[in-house]
Amino acid sequence: MAKSALVLGGGMVGVCTAWHLARRGFDVTVVDRRAPGQETSYGNAGLIQRECVEPYNFPHDFSRLLGIALGRDNTVHYDMRAMPGLASRLWQYWRQSGPKSYPAVVRNFEAMIRHCLTEHEVMIRAAGAQDLIRPGGFKLALQSPRAFAHEARRAEFLQQEFGVGSTIMDSDMLARAEPALRERFAGAIHWTDAWAVRDPGGLVSRYADALQQAGGRLATGDAATLEADGTGWRVSTTQGPIRAEHAVVALGPWSGRLLRGMGYRYPLFVKRGYHTHYAGDAGLSTAVLDMKAGTMMVPMNMGLRVTTGVEFAALDAPPTPVQMRRSERRARQLLSLGARIEPTPWLGNRPALPDMVPVVGAAPRHRGLWLHFGHAHQGFTLGPVTGRLLAEMMNGETPYFDPQPYSPARFG
């Protein structure tokens, strides 16, 4: 079983990990209950976000927190029934978002995000997926002059500190660039380095095709059947049991459940999000995020995708329509929005950790077990980056950047 691996999870993170392992000569199989790219990786804004060197932190502004608590802020919604179980993790998240801890978080996050375009480009070429990629970035639209001035200063800082490209657009510039918008904004930040993906789930599927071309395999199975098998690991699939020397847990929000049975207690929680597609593209030239309204409008192959902000809830909690209703209403105010294509909104779960960086590395107490999850909002952006990082570690190579900040051992 030398140089063989099971990768549990067929999302962006799992598929990219498997592809990098296959390129290094591993006999690798991706195991999932669904086809690649059909869970969390399917439902996002479809952006490869080079500008996102600062991960989404927990707000410390009292007025913002009050708005969230009273249900007035559409960027964040919460299910009160989940709060007792989430309280300690959200408290840790709040502390890590403070001025003492957050600068280190940004350094660790930027060390990953700086590689996202180059690593995706390698995989895009291997997958022949250039038709799904649309360079040109997206626009962050600001309703108030104060918010616009704040974000403009931030854009200038990120340009100087990290080389992130942007164009600061005043109200007239935005109106000329996006004439389909019915309302005037104070201005916008056009993040020019980001790439838009016209079909996020389709891109993961193309990457899975590239994996198979590189010698990897896909299997349908239940990750919960993973167990130690002599010096390796075994999982049950519809094709029978599959064995390998190594096993990678890349199950996103479901990773914690599997690992609890092995004695690990990672403070994983989910940030849920919703989207709905509408006919046509409403005339937008790029994706536009109305930040105050917590509403992203993204032209996709399927139509215009309208996405929501974050919802804190239990992994299996029933969907709530609050944010999607508000986002649809806001999109209709801003654009000539077509008819709904889907009867019900899509709901997905982003796997998050309180310190805002993923777990990437060897499990502390199990030989041949590797952990790879917790990318929160940026699993789609970072899958090829941390996939390469983990594959290098598994193959005994010198990692192309320091993996220590993402060590699974940091949680004890």
How confident is the model at residue 63, as a pLDDT?
Answer: 86
Beta strand extents in 198-314 (DSSP E only): 217-220, 227-229, 232-235, 242-244, 246-249, 269-278, 287-290, 295-300, 303-307, 310-312
In a domain, 377, yes or no: yes
Q: How far apart are CA 114 and CA 51, in angstroms?
A: 9
In a domain, 224, yes or no: yes
CA dihedral angle for residue 226, residue 359, residue 21, residue 389, rounded to 10 degrees: -170
Tell me how many domains the chain contains.
Answer: 1
In a domain, 277, yes or no: no
Predicted model pTM: 0.96
In a domain, 140, yes or no: no
Please give the C-alpha separations between residue 2 and each of 28, 97, 175, 394, in angstroms, as whole numbers: 11, 42, 59, 12
In a domain, 209, yes or no: yes
Q: Which residues of 121-154 are buried (b: 16+ CB within 10 A; e: fewer)?
A: eebbebbebeebbbeebbbbbbbeeebbeebbee
Q: Helix, strand or coil for residue 127?
A: helix
How confident is the model at residue 256, as a pLDDT?
Answer: 96
Q: What tokens does 90 get? A: 């959200």
| Beta bridge partner(s), residue 221 | 237
How confident is the model at residue 2, as a pLDDT?
Answer: 65
Q: What is the CATH number of the domain that holds 375?
A: 3.50.50.60
Residue closest to 325 by CA, chosen among 305, 299, 297, 306: 306
Specify whether the CB–CB gap between 211 and 197 falls below 8 A.
no
CA dihedral angle for residue 310, residue 315, residue 319, residue 324, rounded to 10 degrees: 10
Range of 119's domain? 1-57+98-132+198-268+354-412
Alpha-helical runs (H) found in 137-248: 145-162, 171-177, 200-213
In a domain, 66, yes or no: no
How confident is the model at residue 347, as a pLDDT?
Answer: 96
In a domain, 153, yes or no: no
Condensed to tens digits (0 to 9), the pLDDT of residues 375-395 reads 999 999 999 999 999 999 999
Condensed to tens digits (0 to 9), the pLDDT of residues 307-361 reads 999 999 999 999 998 999 999 999 999 999 999 999 899 999 999 999 999 999 9
390 in the Ramachandran plot: left (φ > 0), alpha (ψ -120 to 50) or beta? alpha
Identify the segments of the chain with pLDDT beneath 70: 1-2
In a domain, 63, yes or no: no
